[in-house]
Structure 1
Amino acid sequence: MNPKSKVTAGVLAILVGGLGIHKFYLGKTLLGIVYLLFCWTCIPSIIGLIEGILYLTKTDEEFQQKYAV
């Protein structure tokens, strides 16, 4: 298994979270597609910002266990 970088995921979520790029990076393709389908509502952008902050505040071990499956 290839470990994912929490910094990369966090930055992607904050900058382009509305398009779900961070979800594709983490291997959550279905959620990435949902983000793409609803990107016109700006709701995924808000959620992406929150997720990016959460990713960056987790320890590396917590991030790997919870998000990088």
Structure 2
Amino acid sequence: MAKGKYRDRHHKTEEEKNLTWVLDKEDMKGRDPDEVTPAQLADAEFERQAAALAAGQEDEVYGFWGKVYKLQQKYEKRIPHATVKKKTYLILLVLLGWMGGHRYYEHRWVLGAIYTAFCWTGIPFAMCVIDAMIVIPKKADENGMITM
């Protein structure tokens, strides 16, 4: 966990109670409060988000890409992760990846259909390059299987 802790801020009414981030005292030894480093602020924000998720609160998202991220997170929780043979996956990725062949192999039918629908644009080819960069460094188990 990042450095820091949560403390309740005491207000006059129960409705106004909020969780507030407070940096640890050892972080602030000999420092002016205005001189907190960006790394400390980033650590504090990551820990605040983790504590909010642990408390059952939803992620804070901003803008269009934040909504896309939330949709992707909801979808990822819903589908089980596929276990596939690495060699077969890479062969399909190279030969039929531009049409979504590797996505059909891992039983991600909707994503495979999206690759197939847009195969004429070149976008799935660029996504295949990214998929290859993700799969190639993965270590296969004793049976040659990897989890996607």
Specify if TM > 0.5: yes
What is the letter of the counterpart of residue 20 of structure 1? G
Q: 2:101 aligns with which of 21, 25, 33?
A: 21
Equivalent residue pairs, number:
63
Q: Aligned-residue CA RMSD in angstroms?
A: 1.9
Residue 35 of structure 1 pairs with residue 103 of structure 2 = no
CA contact 1:18–1:45 (8 Å) conserved in 2 = yes
What is the letter of the counterpart of residue 26 of structure 1? E
Identity %, equivalent residues: 30
Gap runs ≥5 in structure 1: none
Query: Take 1:5 and 1:51, find their aligned partners in 2: how far apart are those partners?
Result: 15
Higher Cα radius of gyration: 2
Q: How many angstroms does 1:49 deviate by?
A: 2.5
Q: Equivalences for 1:1-69 in 2 at 5 Å? A: 3-60=83-140, 63-64=146-147, 67=148
3-state SS of paired residue (1:4): strand
Gap runs ≥5 in structure 2: 1-81
Q: How many angstroms does 1:36 deviate by?
A: 0.4
3-state SS of paired residue (2:90): helix
Query: Take 2:97 and 2:87, find their aligned partners in 1: how far apart are those partners?
Result: 14
What is the letter of the counterpart of residue 35 of structure 1? Y
Q: How many angstroms does 1:3 deviate by?
A: 4.4
Compute the TM-score of the two structures, normalised by the length of structure 1: 0.76
CA contact 1:10–1:53 (8 Å) conserved in 2 = no
Q: Deviations over 1:4-40 (max 9, x none)?
A: 2012112211222110000000010110000001101
Instruction: Answer 1 or 2: which has greater helix percent.
Output: 1
Q: How many angstroms does 1:55 deviate by?
A: 1.2
